[in-house]
Structure 1
Amino acid sequence: MILAAGRGERMRPLTDHTPKPLLSVGGKPLIVWHIEGLRAAGVTEIVINHAHLGHRLIDALGDGHALGVRLCWSAEPLALETAGGIRHALPLLGEAPFIVVNGDVFCDADLGALCRAAQALGAGPGLTQGELAHLLMVDNPEHHPAGDFHLDAGAHLHAEGSPRLTFSGLGAYHPALFAELADGNAARLAPLLRTAMDAGRVSGAHHGGRWVDVGTPARLAALDAALNAERVAAEKAGLRTLRGAH
C-alpha cells in the first residue's frame, strides 16, 4: 500500500492544485519512484489511498498498466490518518501481511527485504505469538532530532529507551494490528504501534542508505537538484564508457 491521502499543508502552495505524491523529483513524480521500486521488488498489486485531489492521482496513474503494476484505489471522503486509512483499505489488502510506504518520502531501501519481513509476521493460533509489525528505521534527521523509537540489539522496537531512531514511513504489518479499529474513523498509527511494542510484538531494522522526508518545498527542491545532478553524472559516465568501447 502507498499512503497518498495527506493534504500536504507544509508543502503549500505546491499542493493547492497537485497532490503531494505527484510532485516531481529527478524527472518523475514521487509516487512513481515508489511504484517502480515496488515493481522491481516483485510487488505488482498495489493499493493507493487518496483524499485531497485524489482524482488527479487516478487521472495520472490509472490502473497502473503503463507502469507494469495493477493499482487499486481506496477513496477516503476525508483523510483518515495513517491507521484509519490502512483499516479502510483492508478489504483490498486481504488477510495476509502487507507492506506500506508513505507517499511523501524518498528512500532507496531494499523493498524485497521488507516483503520478506512481512511474510514472517504473525504466528500461532489467534496470533497469540509473533510480531504484528516490522518498521524500517533511519538516523534522526535535523528536523526530528529526538527520534521515535528505540531499536534494541535483538531487533525489537520499544516506545521508550535510547538511542532512538526515526520511523522511515516504510513498514510491514499484519492485518490483526488494525482489528480493533472501526472502519471510517480517523486513527493514528503511533498508538497502535506503542501498544504492540509494549507486548514485544514489533521488530525493526536500521536503514543506513538514502532517506528523505519530502515535507517542505525546500526539501523537495534539494532532492530534485541532487537526483538531477546524479542523473547527469551517470549519463556522462555512460557516454565516456561508450566512447572508450570504440
Structure 2
Amino acid sequence: MKAMILAAGLGSRMRPLTETCPKPLLKAGGKPLIDYHLEKLAQAGVREVVVNSAWLSEQILDYLGDGQRYGLSILHSPESEPLETAGGIVKALPLLGDDPFILVNGDIWTDMDFAPLTSISPASAHLFLTVNPAHNPAGDFSISSQGALAERDDDALTFMGVSVWQPAVFAELAQGKRALKPIIDTLIAEQRATASAFHGQWWDIGTPERLAALDDFLQKESA
C-alpha cells in the first residue's frame, strides 16, 4: 500500500515560524514533524510515499530527497500554489496508483500504529476520529453503531487527519483547488464511508503554542 502525506499548506497560523520553514519541517522532540510519519510508515511496511508541497516547496524536496534514508521511495508532487486537500490528491493521483492509499496530514503528531491501516480496503474511505481537543470541542463527525461515518451529533469526535482512500473517489474530478470536506459529506450521504475511533495520543499542530507543547511532551517522553 502507498501513502500520501499532505505537506502543501501555507502554515498561516504558525507564523512567524513558517515564514522561513514549511510547517512539516518544524521540529518537535528534536526532529521535523514529517519524520515521525515517514518513520512510522516505513515500520508499517509502506514502501512508496507521495508528498505534495507548495509553500517553500524546495525545502521539502531538498530535505526528503528520494526517501532512501527512511527505507522509502518518496515521490514528490509539487504545486505552484496550494490546491487544498482534495485538489492536491487529484494532482498526485497518477503517482498513487489504483489501490487504496493511506492519507496523513503533515501537521499532526500521533502515536498511532500505522501497520493495521495497510490491511484496510474501504468501499470509498475510512476515517479515523479521536477525542475532541480543546480547540475543537464540538468535533467533526460521528460513528454509527454499524461503523459508518456519520454527520456530527452529540457524541461527535474529531477527524485526525489520518484516513484510507480508494483513488477512484478522485478519479473523475477536475484538477484545481478543491476541499476534501464536501467529498466526505457526499460519501456520508451515500453511506460509502466508514470510521474508527482512536484513543491514543494525537496532536494537531495548528499554532506555535501547540508545537511548543508537543515539543515539551516529547522531550519528557524521551527523558
TM-score range, shorter chain: over 0.9
TM-aligned CA deviation for residue 160 of structure 1: 4.2
Q: What is the aligned partner in structure 2 of residue 9 from structure 1? A: 12
1:178 aligns with 2:204: no
Give ranges in structure 2 of 5+ residues lacking alignment. none
Q: Tell me the number of residue pairs that the alignment of Structure 1 and Structure 2 aligns.
A: 220
TM-aligned CA deviation for residue 97 of structure 1: 1.0
Higher helix proportion (structure 1 or 2): 1
Q: Give TM-score, length-normalised by structure 1.
A: 0.88
- 1:176-215 to structure 2, matched below 5 A, reads 176-183=168-175, 185-215=176-206
Over residues 92-149 of structure 1, what are the superposed CA-to-partner deviations in whole Å (9 max), with x where a residue is unaligned? 00111101000000011121112211xx22xxxxxxxxx2000010111100111111
- Which residue identity lines up with residue 213 of structure 1 in the other structure? D
Give ranges in structure 1 of 5+ residues lacking alignment. 122-130, 233-246
CA–CA separation in structure 1 for the residues paired with 2:167 and 2:146: 24
CA–CA separation in structure 2 for the residues paired with 1:87 and 1:45: 17
Match of 1:145 among 137, 140, 149: 137
Q: What is the aligned partner in structure 1 of residue 58 from structure 2? A: 55
- Which residue identity lines up with residue 132 of structure 1 in the other structure? S
- 1:60-139 to structure 2, matched below 5 A, reads 60-117=63-120, 120-121=121-122, 131-139=123-131
TM-aligned CA deviation for residue 161 of structure 1: 3.2
CA–CA separation in structure 2 for the residues paired with 1:14 and 1:161: 36
Q: Give TM-score, length-normalised by structure 2.
A: 0.96
- Which residue identity lines up with residue 125 of structure 2 in the other structure? A
1:168 aligns with 2:160: yes
TM-aligned CA deviation for residue 179 of structure 1: 2.6
1:25 aligns with 2:28: yes
- The percent of aligned pairs where both chains have the same amino acid is 49
SS in 1 for 2:81: coil
Q: Is the 8 A contact 2:139 2:152 kept in 1?
A: no
1:221 aligns with 2:212: yes
CA–CA separation in structure 1 for the residues paired with 2:114 and 2:83: 25
Q: What is the aligned partner in structure 2 of residue 231 from structure 1? A: 222
CA–CA separation in structure 1 for the residues paired with 2:148 and 2:56: 38
SS in 2 for 1:164: coil
CA–CA separation in structure 1 for the residues paired with 2:39 and 2:161: 17
